[in-house]
Amino acid sequence: MRGLYAIADAEVLEAHGIDVLSFAAAVLSAPLAALQLRAKDVSARQTLSLLRELAPMCRRAGVPLVANDRPDLAVLAGCDIVHVGQHDMPIDRVRRIAPGLRVGVSTHTLEELGAALDTRPAYVAFGPVFATSSKKDPSPVVGVDALRVAHGRARDAGIPLVAIGGITLDRAVGIADDADAVAVISALLPPSLSADRARPASDRLAEVAARARELAGVLSRALRPIAS
């Protein structure tokens, strides 16, 4: 996994007046490492419906689709990966009920990172690297120094590390030596929420696509190749 890891957060997108599927179509115009659907406040039925519509879009683009938290929905929708947090289903249980599903794991400390690496996930996410407003109750900021240590340990284990949390275009360039992929939410959206909702949807989506292509391009040039 290398490059731009885009997250479609249903709650954040709703605040911007942007439809999840339209957002996905816009960001999929860029080369992505993965596209994750985060739908914490959406019913299981609605989440499954969204995942089922996202799956063929991602397949056509050659981009892995990641379901957040729910391995059952990931299997039903034909996702490639499920992403689990520290308080979600343990990775060994996910593998028992869905042996063909790859698993990514969120980590917020070096201790959590070490435990996650021992389970040999598809990737580890580490953060928040910077302060973030995309989560209601974010974990404490880990900072760039801890990210650098975490990336070294992940590289030694042969597992990609995804940096997450408060990452903008400028910050992405600054941490490019310390991650294999960079996960973003807000950086893909226009900066002014009030002004954004007043603009035509086509304009907003064009800006999303442009931001995704710019971020993906910058990361493709800045990130180190993953060691083989």
pLDDT beyond 80 at 127: yes
Angle at 215 between CA 217 and CA 208, to 5 degrees: 120
pLDDT, one tens digit per residue, over 148-194 is: 999 999 999 999 999 999 999 999 999 999 999 999 999 999 876 65
pLDDT at 228: 47
What percent of the chain is modeled with pLDDT above 90? 79
CATH H-level superfamily of 3-222: Aldolase class I (3.20.20.70)
Gap between the Cα atoms of 29 and 158, Å rounded = 29
Contact predicate 165/132, CB 8 Å: yes
The domain limits of the chain are 3-222
Gap between the Cα atoms of 61 and 57, Å rounded = 6
